[in-house]
Structure 1
Amino acid sequence: MSLPPSHPAIDVHKHTGMGCPVVGKGHEWCPSQPDDSRSPCPALNTLANHGYIARDGKNLSVFDLVSGLKACYNLSTPLAIFLSIGGFVLLRRFWNTDLHDIGRHGRIEHDASLVHRDTPEGEKYAPIDISDRLVDQLIVDAKTGDEEGEGPEAGDRRTLMDASDVARARVRREKESPPLGAKHAEIARGEMAIILGVWETKAGSNVGVPVEWMREWIGHERLPKDWKPTHIQGLLDVVKRAKSIRKAMDEQRKAEAAVVDEKAKH
């Protein structure tokens, strides 16, 4: 994992527990070290990088994940429990797990990730390296200029990512990847629905997640420096947002199909 350009170099060291010999026992960010376990999930990797769960990403219980999700992202108890227990069920794990286990292809992990390459055929575990190309494409999907004050000329700070932007990115990635089953398509929408809810903010009449926050989090698995929890993110809100993403994806596909049909007529 690469450090942001502004971050001072950190010597290789060993993580044990929720503390770090370099940044201490608080929640300062430190990237994963060679012996650490990580997954294709930026949300969980961020928990480890900030010490909300064991920084080495190993031997994690359901209770560890529930506590970390609540403390870091301010998820409600029902939502944190649903995600943690549901994850263990999908992984078919009855005891503690390492973050690496979450990358087992076809369990929770799925193709068409917004920032990771698809799992090569025959591989049991998904790639965990973040693709800079895919991150850049995700940001471009938000910079359409559809909303007032946004667009490439506005820069990351003024551009907000909302459900329609996520839908645009999901449709693009799902066209590039093997077909997703219903379960994994729902997981993919739910992942982004959670983030849209946790980081939602306003800029004038626009509502969404600042693109600079998304780039920092999804690109470096690090919490945005100027973000602080402002509300508790609940399960029902995530369900509602996931439905909004699905609806926007359906509309995007219909619009693309209409363009193809129109071209075929001429």
Structure 2
Amino acid sequence: MPGSNVPSERTPLVSSNLSRGTYAPAGPTDTRGPCPLVNCLANHGYINRTGRDIRASDLNTAMNVVGLSAALGAVFAFPIYNERLDRNVAKLDRRRGFLARLWYLLRNPWSIMSNFGLRRRKQVDGQGTKVLNLDQLATPGIIEHDVSLTRRDHTQKPGNIAPQSELVEDLLASSSDGKTITIADLAALRKRRIQRQLDENPDLQYGALAHQIACTEIALILDVFGNGSSVPCDYARAVFKEERLPIREGWTRRYWWTLGFYELVGTMNKVKSLVGLQV
């Protein structure tokens, strides 16, 4: 991937004094979530390093740092800033006519995806702007799902936020040649994880939507850090073990083109075809 506008790394001492783009692992009072990619963005200071009070606009902008198009970044970033279990649209459906509903949607376009909302009621920062904390991404049944590649299910100890070292090692060991992790390697790993959790978690919840999200996550890793078909093992090691952008290993963000819907969905469909099952 040619070119980059991502700053070089250096070893930090106090993360609060670091420039945007410099890596520092999360501190003991910082909040992180279940998504390694978003945690990387926090560890590099592209969103608030504390993991708290993150604005949708900042999260959307940070998505471009790793090469997502503005439109694709918006789809990932904005729907989750709806209030959780928000019923505003439903109330309008019952009480008002078509024009009132249409006007509400025009003023609040992301409300059409309110089922993905994670924000608490009136959760805003000091300027009145909607914000989220990264641990809210772990809310079960919204975008978080059982059968993560690197986390436990939310009903299992120690929960679904912290990466588990043995699962990360399983992911890295899934490489067939020890150099790259291919789409086939990751699909086979997902199949093994599904079977393992079916055996180990009697409270497992993993249906068609969760499977779709899980395969999209694999596609995102392949398209952001690889060539759509594979990702170097040392890149995956940085992302999943250290939650660090693999800059020192040679990765650079997309420069001439960004990752859009068509490419991501195409990779996701390849993953689903290789996994070949839903539960």
Q: TM-score, normalised by structure 1?
A: 0.75
CA distance in structure 2 between the aligned counterparts of 1:37 and 1:235, rounded to whole angstroms: 30
Match of 1:87 among 62, 80, 86: 80
Q: In the alignment, does 2:45 pair up with 1:51?
A: yes
CA distance in structure 2 between the aligned counterparts of 1:61 and 1:114, rounded to whole angstroms: 27
CA distance in structure 1 between the aligned counterparts of 2:230 and 2:175, rounded to whole angstroms: 10
Q: In the alignment, does 2:98 pair up with 1:98?
A: no
The equivalent of 2:97 in structure 1 is none
Match of 2:208 among 182, 188, 193: 182
Report how far residue 80 of structure 1 moved.
0.1
SS at match of 1:228: coil
Kindly indicate whether the alpha-carbon contact (under 8 Å) linking 2:118 and 2:136 is maintained by their aligned counterparts in 1.
no
Report how far residue 236 of structure 1 moved.
1.2
The equivalent of 1:3 in structure 2 is none
Structure 1 letter corresponding to 2:143: I
Structure 2 gap ranges (5+):
1-9, 82-113, 122-129, 198-203
Q: In the alignment, does 2:225 pair up with 1:199?
A: yes
Q: In the alignment, does 2:62 pair up with 1:68?
A: yes
Match of 1:235 among 261, 273, 279: 261
Kindly indicate whether the alpha-carbon contact (under 8 Å) linking 2:33 and 2:162 is maintained by their aligned counterparts in 1.
no
Report how far residue 128 of structure 1 moved.
2.0
**Which piece of structure 1 moves more, 40-49 or 128-137?**
128-137
The equivalent of 1:166 in structure 2 is 186
Structure 2 letter corresponding to 1:30: A
The equivalent of 1:216 in structure 2 is 238
Report how far residue 52 of structure 1 moved.
0.6
Report how far residue 201 of structure 1 moved.
4.2
CA offsets, 1:164-191, max 9 Å, x none? 1111111111111225111111111111
Q: Percent identity?
A: 29
CA offsets, 1:17-63, max 9 Å, x none? xxx22xx2131110111221110110111100001111111111211
SS at match of 2:131: coil
**Alignment map for 1:5-84 (pairs within 5 Å):** 20-21=16-17, 24-71=18-65, 73-84=66-77
**Which piece of structure 1 moves more, 228-237 or 181-190?**
228-237
Structure 1 letter corresponding to 2:170: Q
CA distance in structure 2 between the aligned counterparts of 1:34 and 1:84, rounded to whole angstroms: 26
CA offsets, 1:198-226, max 9 Å, x none? 12249xxxx52101110110111001122
CA distance in structure 2 between the aligned counterparts of 1:117 and 1:82, rounded to whole angstroms: 26
CA distance in structure 2 between the aligned counterparts of 1:92 and 1:113, rounded to whole angstroms: 19
CA distance in structure 1 between the aligned counterparts of 2:236 and 2:148, rounded to whole angstroms: 15
Q: TM-score, normalised by structure 2?
A: 0.71
Aligned length: 216
Kindly indicate whether the alpha-carbon contact (under 8 Å) linking 1:91 and 1:108 is maintained by their aligned counterparts in 2.
no
Kindly indicate whether the alpha-carbon contact (under 8 Å) linking 2:118 and 2:139 is maintained by their aligned counterparts in 1.
no
Report how far residue 126 of structure 1 moved.
3.9
SS at match of 1:142: coil
